[in-house]
Amino acid sequence: MPTERARPAALFLFAHQDDEFGVFQRIADCRAQGLRVACAYFTDGATPKATAAQRNLESLAVLARLGVEPEDVHFAGAQLGIGDARLPQQLARAARWLESWLDRFAQVDSLHVTAWEGGHHDHDALHALAVTVAARRGLLARTWQYSLYQAAGLPGPLFRVLAPLPQNGPARTTSIPWRARRTYLGHCLSYRSQRGTWIGLFPFVLLHYLLRGTQALQPVDPARLDQRPHPGPLYYEKRRFFTWDRMTGALNAWRAGQS
C-alpha cells in the first residue's frame, strides 16, 4: 500500500465553509475511486451571527459523511487571519500557503476550485489564486472549476445556482443518483449557522436536483482572469459587496508583487 503522502490526492479549495455543496458528488466519486481527498478553506468564515469554530464544525461534519478524513481538512483562512469577504486583499499570503500545502502531496490527481463567475468576490479571488499557482506548477490540465452561483443576464437581485457559465468552456457533467440527491439536500440543511443564506440557496439547489441532478465541472484558463466573468453587472456588484475594478486592482497588485 502507498504511504499517505504518495497516495494520489484530489484537492478541493473553498473560500467559505459550506462552499463544498457545489462538489458533493465529485468528492464522493473521488473517494469511491480510492483517492485521498483533501480540502482547504481560505477564509475563516466568521460572520456577525456565526463564529469560525461553528462553521468549521459544520463543514467537518458534512465532509465526514462524504468520507473525508478530518486530518485532511485544513482551515487556512483561520491560520492566516483572513476574514470572510477579505480574500482579494490577502492573495499573497494565501498563495504562499497554497504553494506550501501542495508540496505535501506527491501526486495530485486533480485540483478543484470555485468558478470564475462573479458570484462572490472571495470565490473569484480564490479562482484566480488557484489558476495562477496551478499554471506555475504544471497542474492546469488537472484543475477544474465548479459553479456555486452567478447572476449573468438576470435582473435585480436574482441569481442562478450550480449553473456553469458558457464563457468558462464546455462542462463535463455526471448524473447524480436519486438517493444521493436526497442525501445531499440533507447535507445542505446541516449548515445551521447559515440559515439566512440557505433560505435563499436551498430552493434553487432543490430545483437543480429535481430537474437536472448533475455534477458539472469545467476546465480553467488563465486568460479568463483578464476578462469579466460575464457581461453586465456581477452579482457581488449588484449586492454592493465588491466591484470589478477592485478585483482587477487586487489581482494586478498581487501579480506585480510576484515579479
Say what the pLDDT of residue 242 is: 98
Asked whether residue 219 is domain-assigned, the answer is yes
Asked whether residue 4 is domain-assigned, the answer is no
**Partners of 110 in beta bridges:** 10
Asked whether residue 218 is domain-assigned, the answer is yes
What's 55's domain CATH number? 3.40.50.10320
Residue ranges for the chain with pLDDT beneath 50: 1-2
Please tell me the total count of domains within the chain. Answer: 1
Structural domain containing residue 160: 9-258
| Single pTM value for the model | 0.97
Say what the pLDDT of residue 6 is: 81
Say what the pLDDT of residue 72 is: 98
Say what the pLDDT of residue 92 is: 98
Say what the pLDDT of residue 248 is: 98
